[in-house]
Amino acid sequence: MKNYCSFLLLFLTISLFAQAEKPTRIYLVRHAEKMTNDPKEKDPLLTEYGNKRALALAKKLKYKTINNIYSTNYKRTQSTVIPSSKQQKKDIQLYDAKILTVEAAKILKENKGKTVLIVGHSNTVLETIEAFGSKRPIPSIDDQEYDYLFLLTINPNGETKVKVMHYGQANSYKEGAQMMH
């Protein structure tokens, strides 16, 4: 009987550790390259390079389990994550970048211990990272920078860390600038 109780206690202890909260992982990207030939167009589509970048994002995240995908209500943001959405078999959920603090709290509450993908804009991605309680990993995202991929990890104790990565081809303007030197 004593061995049985010891075994049961060990089993319960292991079960509790196995059920301990996992960190929440949030991949954040800016939308891919957009068409800029019509300055009056407020909701442009992606360029050919942008569509290739959207495919590169799906390829980069292919072996990751993404539980939910979030996008602002623009063609360029939604088009950036359509390949990932199809690959992961997840619908794209809309969020309002004008109320980032509220949206971040909602996304975190709904996805504790899960992994999500969020696509935004050059002027909202870093603000989104801040809305989740972390510091900006870089000062800003230039209007011509499309290749950043951030992985924000939020531990159960609230501690955050951000990994800065890149995906797809390097930004063409950077390549041109390097070639000029």
Question: Rounded to an integer, what is the distance from CA 9 to the centroid of its chain?
Answer: 40
Q: pLDDT 10s per residue in the chain (181 long)?
A: 555 545 544 454 554 454 468 999 999 999 999 999 999 999 999 999 999 999 999 999 999 999 999 999 999 999 999 999 999 999 999 999 999 999 999 999 999 999 999 999 999 999 999 999 999 999 999 999 999 999 999 999 999 999 999 999 987 544 433 322 2
Contact 129, 137 (CB under 8 A): yes
Residue-level pLDDT at 178: 32
Q: Which residue has the tokens 């990565």?
A: 165
| Domains detected in the chain | 21-180 (3.40.50.1240)
Continuous H helices in 19-132:
48-60, 75-88, 100-110, 125-131
pTM over 0.75: yes
Element (H, E) at 6: helix 2-18
Element (H, E) at 153: strand 148-154
Residue among 139, 39, 170, 86 at smallest CA distance from 179: 170
Q: What is the DSSP string of 18-34?
A: HTSPPPEEEEEEE---B
